[in-house]
C-alpha cells in the first residue's frame, strides 16, 4: 500500500502490527523490505513507546543471527554453487552490505552468514547488487520492465554457474522464481533461512 | 501517455534494450573505477551536499552577490522568472544585434525553456553544437539523456542521418569518418554564427564568474568566434566561493563519465575586448520547488546523469519513455514539481532500489523523494479508481485477521482447483511472463498451530 502511494490506508494495519507484536523482545522477519517498512515508514504513526520499540526491535533474520545470536552453532551444510541476490531494501535500505556505488571497505552480513555453511560455493556476479525488478506493485504496473529486469538478474546467475539463487527477501525470490518456472530455467530459488537450516539429511532437488 | 506504456514499447525490442543497458552500464563501470581511486569520495559527497544546502538556504543573498560581482566584471545580468521571459530576453538581445544564426552549446535549461522552436519561429537558425545534441536535432528528437543526448542511437542510425542531412557517403557506421564529417559540418556553422549561447554548470557568487564544462570544446569554439555570448543559468547553479568549485569539478566528471575532469572546464569572468557577455538567471519553477521542504534537495542536482546510468529502469526503458526534459530518477522527482498531473506516472517508474541515491555525488535522497511523490500524487493528481479501491480494500482486509485467514485459505484452494485460463489471463499482469507461487498446503499459522503450539 505505502510504496504504491497509499500510505494513508495502511495506518490501521501498522497499528494492528504494533498491537500484535509489541510484547516481544524481537520481531524477526524473513524479509528485508518488510523490516525496512517498519523501521523507516512507521514514522507516520504517533511515536508511542510501543511503536518506538517495534521500530527498533524488528529485525531481518540475517541481522538477528549475526548481531543477536550465536551463529557459530549453525550446523548447516549445503554443497552447491549458490548465487546471492542482495535485495535492495536490505542492501541499500538497511545497509546489510556495502552497495557497489559507495566507496569504502566491503562488507556483507548476508555473505558472512552463508560463508559459515559447510560446502557452499558462493559465486561472483557481474552486477553484484542490481535490482531484480520486483518492487511491489511496480512488478504489475511496470510489468514489461519488471520482467526484463528479473530475466537479466537471473541470467547473471546462470552465466556464473549458480545452481541455486538465494536471498533475504521473499518478494524478490517470488518474482524471480515466477520467471524461472515459466521459462523452465535450470536453477532453483531458496530463501537464505532454508539454506541456513539445511543439513545433509534432507537433500534438495537441484 | 504514461511511463509504463512508453517503456513497454521500448522493451519489445529485446536486443536493443540489451544494447542500451550495456552502453549505460559501461559508463557506470567507468564511474566506479574513477571514484574508487578516490579514498575521500564519500567525504567529498558530504561536503558538496552541505555546500548546496547552504547555498539554497541563502539563495537570495548569493544570487545578489553574483549579480553585483558579475556586473562589476562587465557581464550584463538578466533575470527571468519563467521560460517565456527567458526566451524573450534572448530574442531581444539578438534583435538588437541583428543576429540571424547562432551556435548553442549544451544547455538542458534551454531545452527546458523550448528555446529552439521559439527562435526558429522568429527566423533565427539554431545549431546545437554538441555532437550528441546535433544528432538528435537532425533527427528531430529530444535528448534521451542529459549528458549523452544521443545514447539511444546506434552508429548505423547516425550514419543514415548524416547521409540524409550532411550528404556523407554510407560508411557502415565508421565512427572516425562520421566524427570527421560532423566536425567539418560544425566548423562551418561556428564560422558563420553571429552569436553563441551556452549553459552554465556553476555560477560563483564571490567572483561573479561562471563555469561551463564540455568534452568537445564546442562552447569555447562558439564563444571565441562570435562577438556575443549569452549564458543561461538555472538559479540553483550558484555556489558561494571560488574554492568550492574544486569540490564540484572533482565530483562532476567522475560521476558523469568516469573522467577525472571534463576535457574543457572553462571559466568566464568578463567579456572579451569588443565582445558582449550576458547571463540570464532563470527561475522557471525552481523557487516553488525550493519552498517544498520534502523536495528541496532535488535542487542540489549538478546534472551529471549518474542516476540515469545506474537506474535499472532507465537502462531498460530508454530516456524518451519519461517524456520529460530531464529523464530518469532525478527527472522523476523534478518533473512532478513542474506539472504533477502530466508527470504523475514518473515517481512510480522505479523499483525504489535506492541505487540513484547512493550514486548521487551531491547526496540527493532520490528514492525517498520518489516515495514521497507517490503519496502526494495519489492524493492530489492521479485518482485511479481501481487502484484506490484495491488499496483501500487491502488496508481493510489486513486489519480483520479472521477474514484474512479465510481469504488466504480460499485463495490457496482456488489456485489449486481453478483451470489455468482463469488464473492466467489478461487481467493478471503478474502472470503474463511469470508463474504465481505454488500455493502451500497450509499457511504458516496453521502449520505452527499443528506442530509447535501443542508442544509448547
Query: With 90 as the cut, is the pLDDT of residue A205 above it?
Result: no
CB B276 within 8 A of CB B76: yes
| Facing B352 at nearest CB: one of A129, A135, A182 | A135
Cross-chain residue pair A177–B349, CB shorter than 8 Å: no
B386 or A184, which is more confident = A184
Element (H, E) at B315: helix B312-317
pTM of the entire predicted model: 0.94
Check residue B399 and give its pLDDT: 84
Q: Give A109: exposed, middle or buried? Use CB within 10 Å, 0-12, 13-18, 19+.
A: buried
Q: Give B263: exposed, middle or buried? Use CB within 10 Å, 0-12, 13-18, 19+.
A: exposed
Cross-chain residue pair A101–B310, CB shorter than 8 Å: yes
Check residue B417 and give its pLDDT: 82
Beta bridge partners of A84: A166
- Residues with Cβ within 8 Å of B43's Cβ and at least 6 positions away in sequence, in order, are none
Cross-chain residue pair A101–B4, CB shorter than 8 Å: no
Three-class secondary structure of residue B77 per DSSP:
strand
Three-class secondary structure of residue A172 per DSSP:
helix
d(CA B248, CA B52): 10
Query: What is the ipTM for the molecules in this complex?
Result: 0.95
Query: With 80 as the cut, is the pLDDT of residue A184 above it?
Result: yes
Count chain A–chain B contacts defined by CB atoms under 8 A. 163
Chain A: give the shortest CA distance to residue B252, in Å.
15
| Per-residue model confidence as pLDDT tens digits over B296-340 | 999 999 999 999 999 999 999 999 999 999 999 999 999 999 999
Q: What is the DSSP letter of B243?
A: G
Query: What is the arrangement of strands in the sheet containing B276-282, beginning at the earlier edge strand?
Result: B76-80, B276-282, B228-234, B195-198, B101-105, B125-128
Query: With 60 as the cut, is the pLDDT of residue A204 above it?
Result: no
Check residue B383 and give its pLDDT: 67
Beta bridge partners of B239: B204
Check residue B405 and give its pLDDT: 84
| Per-residue model confidence as pLDDT tens digits over B249-281 | 999 999 999 999 999 999 999 999 999 999 999
Cross-chain residue pair B355–A101, CB shorter than 8 Å: yes
Chain A: give the shortest CA distance to residue B215, in Å.
24
Chain B: give the shortest CA distance to residue A17, in Å.
9
- The angle formed by the CA atoms of residues B36, B39 and B45, to the nearest 5 degrees, is 90
- Tell me the pLDDT of chain B (456 aa) as tens digits: 799 999 999 999 999 999 999 999 999 999 999 999 999 999 999 999 999 999 999 999 999 999 999 999 999 999 999 999 999 999 999 999 999 999 999 789 999 999 999 999 999 999 999 999 999 999 999 999 999 999 999 999 999 999 999 999 999 999 999 999 999 999 999 999 999 999 999 999 999 999 999 999 999 999 999 999 999 999 999 999 999 999 999 999 999 999 999 999 999 999 999 999 999 999 999 999 999 999 999 999 999 999 999 999 999 999 999 999 999 999 999 999 999 999 999 999 999 999 999 999 999 999 999 999 999 999 887 667 777 888 888 888 888 888 888 888 888 888 888 888 888 888 888 999 999 888 888 888 888 888 876 654
Nearest CA in chain B to A6: B375
Check residue B137 and give its pLDDT: 96
d(CA B348, CA A140): 11
Nearest Cα to Cα of residue B56 among B287, B365, B368, B329:
B287
Cross-chain residue pair B358–A99, CB shorter than 8 Å: yes
Measured CA to CA in angstroms, residue A178 lies from A151, A194, B401 at distances of 10, 18, 28
Check residue B447 and give its pLDDT: 85
CB B27 within 8 A of CB B145: no
Name every chain A residue with its beta carbon within 8 A of the beta carbon of B32.
100-101
Cross-chain residue pair B395–A1, CB shorter than 8 Å: yes
- Residues with Cβ within 8 Å of B306's Cβ and at least 6 positions away in sequence, in order, are B28, B31, B255, B256, B359, B360, B361
| The three three-digit cell numbers of residue B242, written as one number | 571560488
Check residue A155 and give its pLDDT: 97
Element (H, E) at A135: none
d(CA A29, CA A108): 18
Check residue A202 and give its pLDDT: 56
Cite the DSSP H helix spans in B167-311: 175-192, 218-225, 245-257, 286-291, 306-310
Q: What is the DSSP letter of A73?
A: G
| Per-residue model confidence as pLDDT tens digits over A110-166 | 999 999 999 999 999 999 999 999 999 999 999 999 999 999 999 999 999 999 999
Q: What is the DSSP letter of A90?
A: I
Name every chain A residue with its beta carbon within 8 A of the beta carbon of B14.
148
Cross-chain residue pair B313–A12, CB shorter than 8 Å: no
Amino acid at each position: 500500500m505505502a510504496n504504491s502511494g497509499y500510505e494513508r490506508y495502511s495506518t490501521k494495519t501498522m497499528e494492528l502490527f504494533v498491537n500484535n507484536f509489541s510484547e516481544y523482545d524481537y520481531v524477526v522477519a524473513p524479509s528485508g523490505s518488510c523490516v525496512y517498512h517498519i523501521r523507516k515508514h512507521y514514522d507516520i504513526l504517533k511515536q508511542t513507546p510501543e511503536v518506538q520499540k517495534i521500530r527498533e526491535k524488528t529485525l531481518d533474520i540475517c541481522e538477528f543471527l549475526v548481531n543477536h545470536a550465536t551463529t557459530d552453532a549453525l550446523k548447516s551444510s549445503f554443497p552447491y554453487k549458490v548465487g546471492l541476490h542482495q535485495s535492495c531494501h536490505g542492501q541499500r535500505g538497511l545497509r546489510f552490505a556495502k552497495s557497489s556505488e559507495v566507496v569504502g571497505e566491503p562488507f556483507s552480513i548476508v555473505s558472512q552468514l552463508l560463508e559459515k555453511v559447510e560446502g557452499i560455493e558462493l559465486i561472483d556476479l557481474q552486477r553484484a547488487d542490481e535490482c531484480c525488478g520486483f518492487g511491489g506493485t511496480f512488478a504489475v504496473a511496470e510489468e514489461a520492465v519488471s520482467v526484463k529486469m528479473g530475466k537479466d538478474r537471473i541470467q547473471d546467475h546462470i552465466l556464473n554457474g549458480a545452481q541455486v539463487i538465494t536471498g533475504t527477501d521473499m518478494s524478490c525470490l517470488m518474482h524471480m522464481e515466477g520467471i524461472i518456472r515459466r521459462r523452465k530455467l535450470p536453477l532453483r530459488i531458496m530463501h537464505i533461512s532454508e539454506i541456513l537450516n539445511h543439513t545433509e539429511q534432507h537433500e534438495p532437488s537441484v | 501517455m504514461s511511463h509504463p506504456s512508453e517503456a513497454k514499447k521500448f522493451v519489445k525490442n529485446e536486443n536493443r534494450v540489451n544494447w542500451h543497458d550495456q552502453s549505460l552500464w559501461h559508463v557506470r563501470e567507468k564511474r566506479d573505477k574513477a571514484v574508487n581511486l578516490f579514498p575521500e569520495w564519500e567525504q567529498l559527497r558530504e561536503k558538496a551536499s552541505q555546500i548546496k544546502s547552504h547555498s539554497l538556504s541563502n539563495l537570495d543573498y548569493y544570487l545578489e552577490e553574483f549579480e553585483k560581482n558579475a556586473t562589476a566584471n562587465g557581464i550584463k545580468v538578466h533575470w527571468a522568472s519563467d521560460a517565456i521571459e527567458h526566451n524573450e530576453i534572448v530574442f531581444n538581445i539578438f534583435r538588437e544585434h541583428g543576429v540571424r544564426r547562432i551556435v548553442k552549446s549544451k544547455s538542458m535549461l534551454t531545452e527546458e525553456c523550448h528555446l529552439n522552436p521559439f527562435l526558429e519561429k522568429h527566423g533565427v537558425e539554431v545549431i546545437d553544437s554538441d555532437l550528441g545534441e546535433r544528432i538528435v536535432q537532425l533527427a528531430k528528437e529530444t535528448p534521451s539523456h542529459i549528458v549523452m543526448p544521443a545514447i539511444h542511437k546506434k552508429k548505423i542510425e547516425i550514419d543514415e542521418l548524416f547521409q540524409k542531412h550532411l550528404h556523407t557517403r554510407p560508411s557502415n557506421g565508421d565512427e572516425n569518418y562520421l566524427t570527421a564529417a560532423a566536425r567539418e559540418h560544425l566548423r562551418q556553422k561556428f564560422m558563420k554564427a553571429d552569436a553563441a549561447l551556452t549553459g552554465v554548470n556553476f555560477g560563483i557568487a564571490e567572483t561573479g564568474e561562471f563555469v561551463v564544462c564540455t568534452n568537445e570544446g564546442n562552447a569555447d569554439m562558439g564563444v571565441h568566434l562570435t562577438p556575443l555570448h549569452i549564458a543561461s543559468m538555472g538559479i540553483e547553479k550558484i555556489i558561494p566561493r571560488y574554492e568550492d568549485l574544486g569540490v564540484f569539478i572533482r565530483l562532476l566528471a567522475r560521476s558523469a563519465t568516469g573522467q577525472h575532469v571534463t576535457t574543457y572546464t572553462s571559466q568566464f569572468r568578463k567579456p572579451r575586448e569588443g565582445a558582449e557577455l550576458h547571463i540570464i538567471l532563470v527561475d522557471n519553477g525552481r523557487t516553488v520547488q525550493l519552498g517544498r521542504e520534502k523536495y528541496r534537495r532535488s535542487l542540489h542536482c549538478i546534472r551529471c546523469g549518474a542516476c540515469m546510468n545506474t537506474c535499472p529502469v532507465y537502462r531498460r526503458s530508454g530516456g524518451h519513455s519519461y517524456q520529460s526534459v530531464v529523464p530518469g530518477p532525478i527527472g522523476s522527482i523534478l518533473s512532478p514539481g513542474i506539472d504533477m498531473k502530466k508527470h504523475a506516472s514518473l515517481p512510480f517508474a522505479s523499483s525504489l532500489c535506492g541505487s540513484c541515491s547512493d550514486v548521487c555525488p551531491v547526496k540527493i535522497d532520490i528514492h525517498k523523494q520518489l516515495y514521497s511523490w507517490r503519496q502526494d500524487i495519489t492524493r492530489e493528481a492521479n485518482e485511479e479508481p481501481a487502484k484506490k479501491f484495491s488499496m483501500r480494500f487491502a488496508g481493510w482486509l489486513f486489519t480483520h485477521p479472521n477474514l484474512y485467514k479465510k481469504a488466504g485459505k480460499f485463495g490457496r484452494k482456488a489456485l489449486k482447483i481453478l483451470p489455468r485460463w482463469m488464473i492466467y489471463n489478461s487481467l493478471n499482469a503478474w502472470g503474463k511472463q511469470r508463474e504465481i507461487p505454488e500455493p502451500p498446503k497450509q499457511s504458516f499459522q496453521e502449520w505452527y498451530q499443528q506442530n509447535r503450539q501443542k508442544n509448547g
